[in-house]
Structure 1
Amino acid sequence: MTTRTTPASLLRVFIGESDEYRGRPLHEAIVLKAREMGLAGATVLRGPMGFGRSSRLHTSKILRLSEDLPLVIELVDGEAKIEALIEALHPMLGSALVTLEAVRVVRYGHDGGLN
């Protein structure tokens, strides 16, 4: 049996939990923008430890609680929608790390496809 897949793009945005955009947590602003633009989905993942460009360590260890834990927002959809989202997010992102990769969607929803 051959598995039918759909080509798509996976956008990852790496930010800090304390990052904001117009008085709102940045991760919320990104997810709400993606939803407004009709993307297939978005997930915010909170990391227990990480560091970025400054090499400052952010950790959730009990003795050293960080209020700025790393977050990764993953967004998946077709290439055109992801490219449009990147354009829309550009003014929001500041020092965020953004990655983009080609993926194959194996299943999405009951019918299995993106659209």
Structure 2
Amino acid sequence: MQNTRLLRIYTDEAAYFGDRKVLEVVASRARDARLAGATILEALIGFGRSAHQHRRHVLESDRSVVIEIIDEEGALRRFAQTLDDIPGLGLITLEAVEVLGGAFMRADPA
């Protein structure tokens, strides 16, 4: 498991790609690519290079979102390259992780 990595993609709830939220498109593509697992985390407050502060408002959701995907490094690097057509993505990072327990395997092809 030395090659296990964590891909993090920073975006926000209000980012859309066509008629779908960016976070949904990325998660769907990760599942279609049969990556081992993905989780979408919602931040209470966040900001990036633009210094625009994202937070939940009464009538709209504009929180920062982090999409975490775990798999082997090569699979994650190939997947990240497929996201070039999606506007609204922020920072994308890749870091080594050590899997200490639980099942780590690719999703079933079914």
When the two structures are superposed, what TM-score results if normalisation uses the length of structure 1? 0.81
Q: Which runs of 5 or more residues in structure 2 are unaligned?
A: none
Q: 1:76 to 1:49 in 2, by over 3 A?
A: same
Q: 1:106 to 1:93 in 2, by over 3 A?
A: farther
Structure-to-structure mapping, 1:17-36, within 5 angstroms: 17-36=13-32
Structure-to-structure mapping, 1:60-99, within 5 angstroms: 60=56, 65=58, 67-99=61-93
Richer in helix (by share): 1
Q: Distance in 1 between matches of 2:99 and 2:89?
A: 29
Q: Distance in 1 between matches of 2:34 and 2:87?
A: 20
Q: 1:114 to 1:93 in 2, by over 3 A?
A: farther
The answer as to 2:1 corresponding to 1:10 is: no
When the two structures are superposed, what TM-score results if normalisation uses the length of structure 2? 0.84
Task: Give 1:93 shift.
Answer: 4.3
- Max Rg structure: 1
Equivalent residues of 2:9, 2:89 under 8 A apart:
no
Aligned residues: 104
Q: Which runs of 5 or more residues in structure 1 are unaligned?
A: 1-5
Equivalent residues of 1:44, 1:71 under 8 A apart:
yes
Q: Distance in 1 between matches of 2:44 and 2:82?
A: 29
Of the structure 1 ranges 82-91 and 29-38, higher mean CA displacement relative to structure 2 is found in 82-91
